Chains A and B, each alone.
Chain A
């Protein structure tokens, strides 16, 4: 490796890029074309949910794996995106009239919060922008004072609890604990839970996942990505080098929030309901463990980790419901103590070489002169 020329390095990079594009195209074809035709509809819906959760995991990886900010409050942004789309679907069904649950609480007029969600284009923009703005605001208020590390985590967790309480308590505005159902609503005059619409949502999820993966890829390579990593590794030094980390941190946190909003909207329509329970403290910490299992600081790890953990959860809680919490707790402990780099990190640092040495390829790297030493050669033969 060390004696490559500049041309060779360029060639290797181009080859790696081609391989990556090939893998992406292949997985899109498998996910979007082959899977829908061989898997029953309700399982496909499950996978669609997993993939939308993988989108949040990408957002968390962006701020935790690359910038070192552990957010325990991504449920907020996830729920905001979900609620935005659900409100629009409610209004589409009634044609702009008052949705029926309002009569339960004696509300006569559509609250002003609901008014703009009559328009579909606005909703699509809002479900990205609103979580982004909320995240940016929380981030600005926290990072401005150089509050960081665990304090940031605790504050995001508290913010999550506050939003949970707010959504739970405000029945007159968003139906409180009951949440908003989307399954029976209509989108462009077709019922949301009908197979065709669900399949479209599934394919949109796959496309969004790929686009957001590419976005994160673009953000984390190049100058911006290098500053993010520098903030993660030594923020004080970044500041001394003349950069202002606050702006970068706020921006990346807002982007991550917006990504969570998209994921929340996709998750909601494929689940059929959104309730404040999506903002439970436990769910937001779970999102972090998906990233940790896959490997923080690698985007593909976030996706793989999410899919693996969610599949394990579905399997275990279907067959042994009481074991799941034990398993999840053990997963947290193991990932932190034994596998700090996650599955992908373990593979690139250790597993790959192990596999290669199993097949007898380049065993131990030593000095070339040592390899040619007749004494060493003789010892090798004797062994």
Chain B
């Protein structure tokens, strides 16, 4: 029996990682209908900002280092939220109502972010700064002209080409300078060491429970409460829910829908940052870290149903527990102790590796969708979709 409880705990701990990763995705997808394939990369950015904060605190000395994680979480949130905000303003806001296009666009962004982390250096940052200075400064200057609307598209094309050209020329001019072109992170994985009070574990429940796992579960619960409070109790949460229900009507009643969209997307991205911070405690992080989570988290959202936090929670925990019980062979072991038929045990033993467990979980998800196509808690209301 204790093996089963241990299995359940481990499953919940996997599920909580899934949940914290899927939470932001569920908000963005559920409330805005946007498929954000760059979500995993936003997590990766959160993990890298945790790494940077850790290195800064390391230079402060010992007593400070123990508390870096408290600073790292808000920093990760802000970094990812800002990148998400830029992404929303720069690309996604032109694509609302066309979910397949957003899917492709965010995939492009995720590729760019992956390569960005690999090759970011001071020179690249300075060139980016020059580009934005020229481009946005240029727009501000030309905007003052009276015939702005007429020359808009031509000016924009010209400005893009000019400022990209100048930035690239600047980059290639200085690319011999080895101080400036030293990559910040390079393509190798980086390691985040947990502070002293998170290392080790307790055996209070009769089996080994690492503190890091408990910390992540606690962090997930905190995030959930925070998101619930924000959506249900704050003014902006009310506005977000209003826009979700009826965009046109909310706009007529004076709710700034564009601002609401930007805020929702930034919130979802920020949560990805916190998830990245949590993930960085579990193992080393690299530019490809985000890719490992993206499909699993989308499965959580699909099973949970759109626009319902409870559905997301149940789906994440369910998938996590199932994945662990099948993958670790706990279920097969459990069946053996009950002297179940040998064929059944063999069947579960066949799936008792982490990759084969995914095969089984996917088959179960497809079966589940045959019964409830719109997830655990489908949206109610009249639609034309019959």
Contact = CB atoms under 8 A, between A and B. Distances in A.
Interface of A: 70, 141-142, 144-147, 149-151, 153-155, 157-159, 161-162, 165-166, 168-169, 236, 239, 281-282, 285, 288-289, 292, 322, 325-326, 328-333, 335-337, 340
A336 B112 contact: no
Nearest to A72: B103
6 contacts: A151-B302, A169-B356, A332-B107, A335-B104, A336-B91, A336-B101
B251 interface: no
Given A281-B291, A322-B118, A332-B104, A162 B302 contact: no
Contacts of A325: 111-112, 114-115
Contacts of A157: 295, 298
A146 B359 CA distance: 23
The 5 tightest CB contacts between A and B, nearest first, are A332-B108, A329-B112, A145-B373, A329-B111, A325-B115
Given A146-B373, A288-B104, A332-B107, A161 B112 contact: no
A347 to B, nearest CB: 18
B295 A236 contact: no
A281 B95 CA distance: 23
B333 to A, nearest CB: 20
A294 to B, nearest CB: 14
Contacts of A154: 35, 298-299, 302
A239 B384 CA distance: 12
B104 A165 contact: no
Interface in B256-308: 291, 294-295, 298-299, 302
A158 B365 contact: yes
Nearest to A292: B104
Contact of A146 (B107, B109, B362, B385): B385
A294 B295 CA distance: 28
Contact of B353 (A169, A282, A336): A169
Given A330-B108, A331-B108, A336-B101, 8 more contacts: A146-B385, A153-B100, A154-B35, A162-B363, A166-B355, A169-B355, A329-B109, A336-B95
Contacts of B174: none
Nearest to A337: B94
Q: What secondary structure prevails in chain A residues at the interface with B?
A: helix
Nearest to A159: B362
B355 A150 contact: no
A158 to B, nearest CB: 5
Interface residues of B, number: 43
A70 B356 contact: no
A289 B295 CA distance: 19
Interface string B345-382: 00000000101101100110110011001000000000
B237 interface: no
A240 to B, nearest CB: 9
Q: What secondary structure prevails in chain B residues at the interface with A?
A: helix
A14 B335 CA distance: 71
Contact of A144 (B294, B299, B370): B370
Contacts of A281: 291, 294-295
B99 interface: yes
B119 interface: yes
A147 B105 contact: no
Contacts of B386: 146, 236, 239
A142 B112 CA distance: 32
Given A144-B370, A289-B104, A332-B108, A166 B99 contact: no
A282 B385 CA distance: 31
* Residue with the greatest number of chain A CB neighbours at <10 A, chosen from B105, B111, B119: B111
B302 A155 contact: yes
Contact of A328 (B100, B108, B118, B366): B108
A330 B160 CA distance: 13
A162 B114 contact: no
A292 B294 CA distance: 23
Contacts of B353: 169
B111 A158 contact: no
B272 to A, nearest CB: 17
A336 B87 CA distance: 14
Given A145-B373, A149-B99, A153-B100, A328 B105 contact: no
A329 B99 contact: no
Nearest to B187: A322
Contacts of B114: 325
A144 to B, nearest CB: 7
Given A145-B370, A150-B103, A161-B295, A330 B112 contact: yes
Interface in B94-135: 94-95, 99-105, 107-112, 114-116, 118-119
A239 B358 CA distance: 35
A285 B107 contact: yes
Given A155-B366, A158-B295, A161-B358, A329 B115 contact: yes
A165 B358 contact: yes
A166 B291 CA distance: 18
Nearest to A164: B355
A145 B358 CA distance: 23
Nearest to B105: A336
Nearest to A64: B100
A332 B35 CA distance: 15
A335 B114 CA distance: 20
A166 B361 CA distance: 12
A47 to B, nearest CB: 26
A150 B112 contact: no
A145 B365 CA distance: 13
Contacts of B355: 165-166, 168-169
Contacts of A141: 366, 370
Given A147-B373, A322-B118, A340-B101, A162 B362 contact: yes
